[in-house]
Chain A
């Protein structure tokens, strides 16, 4: 990729010609609409006991009911909201942290960079889920704590990618030229580094959302999610607790998992599409 300024409109037009990207975008828009219109789409409240336990799908409850008689369709619809909000906010936060650290290391280098790289090496050997479990063990889990934990544990890949690209931008003649005419570090960062690194930030953010959604799902499935919210992971936690697999209650297990898979796949496709466009060497023939 050449270091000219990317034209946003052009980029979007190019992206839309890629099937991977458009498919991913379509999936996420679909899930997004479900999440935004949850109040309209869901026929019942996700926490209300509206029927008998473990009723198979019927016209009245199209995804059936759980062991406590809640409407699984409504729970799944509201689950989209929790999963997307946690995923997007945690990814946004981790992307901001990762970008700041990456730019800092790439611009300042030297001692700061060396220290941060050691921290990154250390964090790479951390078993994230175990750490998250240990933290949740002391703190009462809430949606906000979960977002912060996920962000704090997942900024590393972004930081590494941004750092490498910042270094390569900083090595360009135009940066030297800008310095020669008196541009300060701040101006170089906002004017040259960030615009050139932003495509990598975007695709890295898409991958962060994917990771955050899987992470939240895993925590909730282990019963360590926010107890006041119903996410897809929480539904599967209830399903396991109720022994839905022994009872053959497939309607309790299949839909929430499919939704997680679909959402994660959507963000993966978006990230892959971005990579294909921005990094032509990866393009598949």
Chain B
């Protein structure tokens, strides 16, 4: 299979998954107990907004017709109006500062975790059985067993409660809204520290264990012995040859664990009051803001599918065998 055909096939599969996801989202939110239009209409909306929605989404038509109208509207980026945020369009609410906040938090968190995991995993795997290995492995196991929200609460207790080093909640300090950009950026970063530490603690242990185990597995392979026999220094084998495997492992994990990204965002943003998509979803659930829940639901499926698609493509580029065997897994 050529690379282009492989990518086309994966792209097609991803599109189908997204389509199924959108369909599930549509019917799930129509099966609400009570009024089938509850997914779009609510007493919290103004009468004019309601009429406009009935018109736009064909809410007086049969369900199957509504489904196609829904798909057409989705392509136009129309997902209805939020019940809570004074009828703000859902897409405007999602694709705004909130998404930026989430991307900053999760992106930085995953990047830092991947970076540490790759290098520490290499070193620990290379020295397997050493004291460093045993300590790192057991600490990682403990960390994967601890619930993420509890770690968040502990960090708040220690650094916000006792030491008063980080703010207890939020994304920006209210009194600095008018300040100059640099002060605001510093303030933003100051708020970011707590949630960022939690995200790193959330991702790092499983990445680290995975890289370590991959490295340990590879160390038993013949080519390592050949490299050693060739007289290569340890450092050259580690960073010249093993690093590639470690990076490949991390790329796979980033994609495979992308559903965790969503739970991580929901919980961490809730604990720290970080004004992102996770917190928006949580508040929308509490306030039954169905259009927003539905929108975020679709967004998260797209994110996960795209992450997997990217991983497949990167894999195919790095390792040509995959193209012939039909993909990861």
Contact = CB atoms under 8 A, between A and B. Distances in A.
Interface string A252-278: 011011001110110010000000000
Given A240-B271, A246-B168, A253-B153, A125 B147 contact: no
Given A246-B161, A257-B147, A265-B142, A129 B153 contact: no
B304 A127 contact: yes
Which size class do B's interface residues fall under? 35 or more
Contacts of A214: 147
Contacts of B262: 127, 129-130
Interface in A185-244: 210, 214, 217-218, 221-224, 233, 236, 239-240, 243-244
B297 A134 contact: yes
Contacts, number: 130
Contact of A245 (B20, B141, B160): B160
B17 A245 contact: no
A250 interface: yes
Contact of A264 (B32, B145, B300): B145
A221 B304 contact: no
Contacts of B297: 130-131, 134
Contact of A261 (B20, B147, B162, B266): B147
Contact of A221 (B21, B142, B149, B160): B149
Judged by DSSP, the binding face of A is helix
Interface of B: 13, 17, 20-21, 28, 32-33, 129, 141-142, 144-150, 153-154, 156-157, 160-162, 168, 258-259, 261-263, 266-267, 270-271, 281-282, 285-286, 288, 290, 293, 296-297, 300-301, 304-305, 308
Interface of A: 121-122, 124-131, 133-134, 136-138, 210, 214, 217-218, 221-224, 233, 236, 239-240, 243-248, 250, 253-254, 256-257, 260-262, 264-265, 268, 285
Given A138-B32, A217-B147, A223-B286, 19 more contacts: A126-B259, A127-B262, A129-B263, A130-B262, A130-B281, A130-B297, A210-B145, A218-B148, A221-B147, A236-B149, A244-B157, A253-B157, A257-B147, A257-B154, A260-B150, A261-B146, A261-B150, A264-B146, A265-B142
